[in-house]
Amino acid sequence: MQVSSAFEYMKCAKFGQGRFNGVNKGKLNTFRWMMLIPNLLLLAASLVTSEVMWFLYYYTYWGFLACIISLIASIRAAKYPETWQQTAVVASEVSLAMNSVLTLLFWTLLGPIVFNELEWSGIDLFLRF
């Protein structure tokens, strides 16, 4: 396994720079906070309503926590790239990989089972969407 240098991590992503004109570091961090705050609220609700061991048992929670860690690391990397860049890149890669696998597993294994039982009227129609 090849170990990447800190320089290679600095080249691969610029968390403080937008890809589009008019998107600056402040707007990027605003968007990140807009994603992070609802996720933190959902985490608080999950901690209150779920058993703590579920966070170890269910891969869904792993992907959820990886997403939160990735958002926090990217916010920090925009402000302190020298110390947080590598963490943000790795956390983003892990989060993307975990959530891609979760999406594929849900729609191939669980989705057909769950949605097959729903009707096309009433509350079931609402639950489909």
State the Cα–Cα distance between residues 102 and 96, nearest whole angstrom.
10
pLDDT, one tens digit per residue, over 56-87 is: 888 889 999 999 999 999 999 999 988 998 89
pLDDT, one tens digit per residue, over 20-57 is: 888 888 899 999 999 999 999 999 999 999 898 998 88
Q: What is the pTM of this model?
A: 0.79
pLDDT, one tens digit per residue, over 81-115 is: 889 988 999 999 999 999 999 999 988 998 888 77
Helical spans, DSSP H, in 19-80: 25-49, 54-57, 59-79
Terminal C-alpha separation, the chain: 43
